[in-house]
Amino acid sequence: MTKIGAIDDPVWALPALPPVERMDASKNRTERRLMIAAIALVPLLLGYLGWILPSVGGSVVIPTLIVFGIGLLIVIIGCAVAMDRPRWKPFAIGAVIATVLASIWTFQFSLALQIQFSNATAQAKAALQRSYSSQDGIPVCTVQASGSLGPLSAPYRECVSGQMVTFNPVGNQTARLIYADNGSVDLQDACVRPLMGGWTMFTALSDAAACPNGYKFIPGP
């Protein structure tokens, strides 16, 4: 005899889901997990592109447009999927937010943070401590054959002159990173983009029209 109120009492037992409904619930859970993974993947992808595409002395607008274009394509795909599957609407919204933030990251912060997250400032200060300049005013220069300086990979040239250290790729005299101990860089006839913490990106071009996008031209006297 079955006791009334027992768990196995047919009156109180919960009805089991039909096989079709159980299958639909499993599909919904799988799709939800897939959407969450996709939402997490988009900012990682766009952020990685924003990290590797900008280069010393190069345009920061072109990498930003590439990141924005790829993000926009993902947004369009997300919106198309969300029209057919409304539960994917958070993915489309997340892709929009990720695209905007990754574009700002690429344009404004990527190169500067690559320097800040490396030992570049410590290396520049150590170079200043070793030697400010020679007695006749000729800058003291060395070539670093290994390692990296933020976004700048070896081999690169390191020159100390006064309270300023310049770094440029070997064989490329126009694109440079400059560190000024007092935070002030006096440059003329050059394209300049300030970064942060005393660092400036510099391109030795004497024509304002030739400046890479995102740089400011400083005219000479």
Average pLDDT over residues 196-205: 82
The domain boundary, picked from 116, 144, 172, lies at: 116
pTM value is: 0.77
Average pLDDT in the chain: 82
pLDDT at 218 over 60: yes
| CA separation for the pair 127, 140 (Å, rounded) | 10
Q: Give me the percent of the chain exceeding a pLDDT of 70.
A: 79
- Per-residue model confidence (pLDDT) at position 192: 85
Tell me, yes or no, whether 190 and 163 share the same domain. Answer: yes
> Of 76, 96, 116, which residue is a domain's last?
116
Mean per-residue pLDDT, 35-45: 95
Q: Round to whole Å and give the CA distance between 203 and 4.
A: 87
Q: Are residues 152 and 203 in the same domain?
A: yes
98 plus 130 within the same structural domain: no
Q: Are residues 111 and 124 in the same domain?
A: no
125 with 138, same domain: the answer is yes
State how many domains the chain has: 2
pLDDT (0 to 100) of residue 198: 86
State the residue range of the domain holding 164: 120-218
Residue 11 resides in a domain: no
Are 196 and 110 in a shared domain? no
Residues 142, 210 within the same domain: yes
The rounded distance, in Å, linking the Cα atoms of 217 and 202 is: 10
Q: What is the mean pLDDT of residues 115-122?
A: 90
189 or 118, which is more confident: 118
Residue 66 — very low, low, confident or very high, per pLDDT cuts 50/70/90? very high
> Do the domain assignments include residue 2?
no
User: Do 152 and 77 belong to one domain?
Assistant: no
Q: Which has more confidence, 17 or 179?
A: 179
In this predicted structure, the answer to whether residue 133 has a pLDDT above a threshold of 60 is: no
Mean pLDDT over 160-189 rounds to 80
Task: Give residue 115's pLDDT.
Answer: 92
Position 7 pLDDT exceeds 50: no
**Residues in contact with 144: Cβ distance below 8 Å, sequence separation at least 6, in sequence order:** 154, 155, 156, 157, 158
Does residue 82 lie in a domain region?
Answer: yes
Q: Are residues 65 and 91 in the same domain?
A: yes
Indicate whether 66 and 127 sit together in one domain.
no
Domain co-membership, 93 together with 23:
yes
Confidence band (pLDDT; 50, 70, 90) for 175? confident
Q: Is residue 6 part of a domain?
A: no
Give the end of a domain, one of 116, 133, 157: 116
Same domain, 147 and 193: yes
The set of residues, in sequence order, having a beta carbon less than 8 Å from that of 66 and lying 6+ positions away, is: 49, 53
Does residue 109 form part of some domain? yes
